[in-house]
Structure 1
């Protein structure tokens, strides 16, 4: 199937939304997989008719209580889209992404930010948080202010500050000259600059001021994430007790799991209060490590992310990442100086496909990790993250090989499926 070009995202305009019934697909619902028809009106899913096949003409009433006659009634006057042979899953939610389409959120402009949004939306991400990279505090505040406007109009789900309050020994693709200790006063200034749209901040809790900053973030309703850290097992556990709830790209930019010094990995994996981010691109994590994390944390505590930089959706070449330069070769992004891995070129459709076809993750668990879990963390699960009546019609249509065939956001096709 060849999808059409994406519609440029805006919070106030887009393709006309009407009444649509999607039939014939296997749908991943909160309680499992079912053959179902979905009724979409305006921006919302208004009906889930379990047991409905093409044009809703299957026989028995499903668990929602809708039978054949009611399914037919829902379809009167609606555009019918037959998706036989396809899957429908909830739109993907990326809580950690820096760029894509040759653009970066760190540019601090609406034009570049919307290009990032459009690129990832074409690959099924209907909700995303804009992640910044380490910079001068004034620059980060400016970026947060610009991104907050897009969050207020609905194009973004908020802002994630990754740096500058991280460990110099684990800074990865962050400029070490710009790192600083997590002074709660400075943390507060960045949160305030986002004007109520700050959703997460990654910091190293072992640094001076780290625990106080974790407490400040937790009290402010902002996710405190442990990452780019040299923390010990004990110090990490203390950070969780102080209110940290996320492990930023677990295993990456932190000490490896040791048999005498288990470090942050063990503390973050074992604590039920922590959701662990994983980058499933085949570069950041060995498949056995991904399996270990899913097995130990459980599907309810995993969030698959991209950590994508500007080269996502593009080809090899050189790209900026904040103040640093990145070279992409064979799809792997590394700093031109030093060679550290610098984010990814991943999109969430690829992460999903790898999970279910290569890693043996059940489809329902992959959906939880890509949609429901991050939506809950971000406080938007009442609106998106699952296929349910009353929620936004944020949907991804996948073919039998789990390739994207269509993307719907708030009832409008971003990528229209090429089907009957």
Structure 2
């Protein structure tokens, strides 16, 4: 199959180009006009998405003991995300370890890119939807015991560096090959920088559930924007972060951003009542909020929704490719398809400014 694009956008360039796919692979890639009339035309082609922070979809929470994550993984694939990190939110420690052992075979088989633990080692002041009675302080030995339960599949852990024992835990985790993210944290800028010095290299969903940008008491958000050692996750669904704040992040940390969905089990199901991290959640008009407080609780979007939002705002497609493919792959040291010859034929097609098609192993699905 020949596919022509007015813009072939990857992390290096954005120019007219074409692909030829066969047997689920990209067997040729060229610049300009395809040598034969193409089978499909798009205004733009993007590489497939990598989501390092998603809790599930289609009624499946990746942290739910005994549940089959297959429907959630399939939903993300259908929407252009072909590599994803299954995020387990705060739960009892025994449950977390058990769920890690259930998900680990899917990482070894390549169905999941890895496992992300978001809690329970987070700040009570910035816990969001995470049940307060389940939170813990980050003892290094305890964290390493949890990591070892996954046999190398736990790739990312979010913790609050101001908690007792956090700095030694960060150093121990990094020494064991785990990426540490600063998140759900009320840390001062000084403590956040100390965490980076200890080895933390990522920030969980910028601006959400963290100390912010006060002009006399800067917090985690300030360090995220200014410290070039940090990768910075951003939820660009138009709800969690306003466009002005997104533009600020692009201006100050544009080469370090990663788009994440933070999607929950409600994704793909519509409005209703759900649960995440031990807290009841109501989804109304597509927005998930904690029952009783009204605070945002994860999202019901997928990366496709965030990309559509950025495309409608005229954001450079090369940057979008970097934030949804290049940077997340680099953070977790993943080999992912990226519109290269001999890559799996995974890509996202854009027509009239919105995603119109997803290819997974050469099978095209249209929206």
What band does the TM-score fall into relative to the shorter chain?
Answer: over 0.9
Match of 1:100 in 2: 57
Q: For the residues of structure 1 that align with 2:328 and 2:169, how far apart are their CA atoms?
A: 22
List per-residue Cα deviations over 1:295-319 (Å, max 9, x = no partner). Answer: 0012x20001010111111211001
Matches within 5 A, 1:128-147: 128-147=84-103
**Of the candidates 312, 334, 342, which is equivalent to residue 357 of structure 1?**
312
Question: Is 2:358 aligned against 1:416?
Answer: no
Assess if the C-alpha contact under 8 Å between 2:4 and 2:33 holds in 1.
yes
Greater C-alpha Rg: 1
Assess if the C-alpha contact under 8 Å between 1:349 and 1:404 holds in 2.
no
Q: For the residues of structure 1 that align with 2:278 and 2:303, how far apart are their CA atoms?
A: 26
Assess if the C-alpha contact under 8 Å between 2:345 and 2:359 holds in 1.
no
Cα distance change on mapping 1:207 and 1:132 into 2, 3 Å = same
Computed over aligned residues only, the root mean square deviation of the Cα atoms, in angstroms, reads 1.7
Match of 2:300 in 1: 345
Q: Secondary structure at the match of 1:84?
A: strand
- Measured after TM superposition, the shift of residue 283 of structure 1 is 1.4
Match of 1:389 in 2: 341
Cα distance change on mapping 1:324 and 1:81 into 2, 3 Å = farther
**Of the candidates 345, 369, 384, which is equivalent to residue 323 of structure 2?**
369
Match of 1:72 in 2: none
- Measured after TM superposition, the shift of residue 106 of structure 1 is 1.1
Which runs of 4 or more aligned residues in structure 1 lie more than 4 Å from their structure 2 counterparts after TM superposition? none
**Of the candidates 120, 128, 132, which is equivalent to residue 76 of structure 2?**
120
Cα distance change on mapping 1:269 and 1:45 into 2, 3 Å = same
**Of the candidates 269, 276, 285, which is equivalent to residue 232 of structure 2?**
276
List runs of 5+ in structure 2 lacking aligned partners: none
Assess if the C-alpha contact under 8 Å between 2:347 and 2:359 holds in 1.
yes
Match of 1:52 in 2: 33
Q: For the residues of structure 2 that align with 1:320 and 1:81, how far apart are their CA atoms?
A: 47
List per-residue Cα deviations over 1:242-295 (Å, max 9, x = no partner). Answer: 111101001111122110011111112111110111111111111100000110
Count of residues in correspondence between the two structures: 367
Question: Is 2:245 aligned against 1:289?
Answer: yes
List runs of 5+ in structure 1 lacking aligned partners: 1-19, 58-79
Q: For the residues of structure 1 that align with 2:11 and 2:80, how far apart are their CA atoms?
A: 18
Q: For the residues of structure 1 that align with 2:88 and 2:48, how far apart are their CA atoms?
A: 23
Assess if the C-alpha contact under 8 Å between 1:30 and 1:387 holds in 2.
no
Q: For the residues of structure 2 that align with 1:173 and 1:29, how far apart are their CA atoms?
A: 35
